[in-house]
Amino acid sequence: MKITDIKVHMMQVPLVRPFRISLGVITHAVSCLVEIETDTGITGYGEGSPGPLITGENMPGTVETLKVFREKLIGMDPRDIEAVNAVMNRAVAYAGTAKAAVDIACHDILGKDSGLALYKLLGGLSNTIETDMTVGIDAPEIMAAHAKEHIKAGFRVIKTKVGTDITEDLARVKAIREAVGDDVKIRLDANQGWNAREAVELLKRLNEYDIELVEQPVRRFDFEGLKYVTANSPVPVMADESCWDSRDALHLVSERAVDFINIKLMKCGGLWEAKKIVNIAEAAGVEIMLGCMAEESGIAINAAAALGAALGNITRADLDASFSLKKLPYEGGFTIENTKDLVLSEAPGLGLSRLKEEMFQ
């Protein structure tokens, strides 16, 4: 089997409501669909969703990077995923979003060629993964109302954004806990919004609200600060922006700098690299959460959900981006049960049955 063409289509889907984090505001899912065509008639689909606030990438740059990959990859066997990733890594440094789009499409082809659903191809532990639901930054009473709506709908875990103002953060978490009751898990995500010392002091105060974990309390490059928070916080600490790839994961777990790691396919460059992070973390006894970019349309969510369901050391999921979209650009893939459970398709690969071409540019 050989790659004969790689096509890129841009899409922009409005969110149900603007989504604010400590780094800025997101109003649309801006993403690109990648189609990898082969000489056997099998086409694989992938998605690259550049997140300027997190990865520093944008759509024009991602599209140009994909053009470079097209020149390098035509003629290669897309099932040789290690080789495909090696070629991309030699051609362009970083650029996780473009690499993830190609990597996901190659895995889709591998699944279709083998007749296996992607979750089976990746490990097959389960076909279902439960996601939390995220509340963006707003006034405490509005965030509490949104959290209560999500719990009423059937979610059991709320992830709430914090990190803009310490006093407001305290009020936000207090309001959410009072709104959802004692049986709901609450996760915090500061998106690098605090420094190490204020993070520890604030988490000591927030701990009375029974917080499951806090994600990325300090700047991504502040390794010593992250390690300090982990050593002194009563709330377990998760790395997100501080862990981009398997090398970062090795550094973090070898120094016991975090309690958990959040993998996003757009950061690490796809499923192939993500599996390396999972293996390193598992060997160190560090559990994984599968996350997503708010800008993802859902195609990449299908891939992440497949990985999360397939492997045992992925114990948590924050794969709620699809719930925030006014419409989806595809049919098929996972289905939703009990509001919160993503049930993977049994069809080969990602299991997408139709792309809504009218939504692509």
One DSSP character per residue, 41-100 reads: S-EEEEEE---TTTT---HHHHHHHHHHHHHHHTTS-TT-HHHHHHHHHHH-SS-HHHHH
Residue 215 a catalytic site member:
yes
> Which of 108, 189, 212, 320 is the catalytic position?
189
DSSP state of 326: S
Contact 355/45 with Cβ under 8 angstroms? yes
> Which of 47, 169, 240, 320 is the catalytic position?
240
> Which of 130, 132, 215, 241 is the catalytic position?
215
Residues 6+ apart with CB under 8 A from 316: 132, 260, 287, 288, 289, 290
What type of residue is 139?
A
Token pair recorded at residue 205: 């105060």
> Which of 120, 148, 161, 275 is the catalytic position?
161
> Which of 264, 267, 275, 340 is the catalytic position?
264
Contact 138/82 with Cβ under 8 angstroms? no
Residue 240 a catalytic site member:
yes
Cα–Cα distance measured from residue 291 to residue 261, given in angstroms and rounded to the nearest whole number: 10
How many other CB atoms sit within 10 Å of the CB of residue 19? 22
Residue 161 a catalytic site member:
yes
> Which residues are designated catalytic?
161, 189, 215, 240, 264
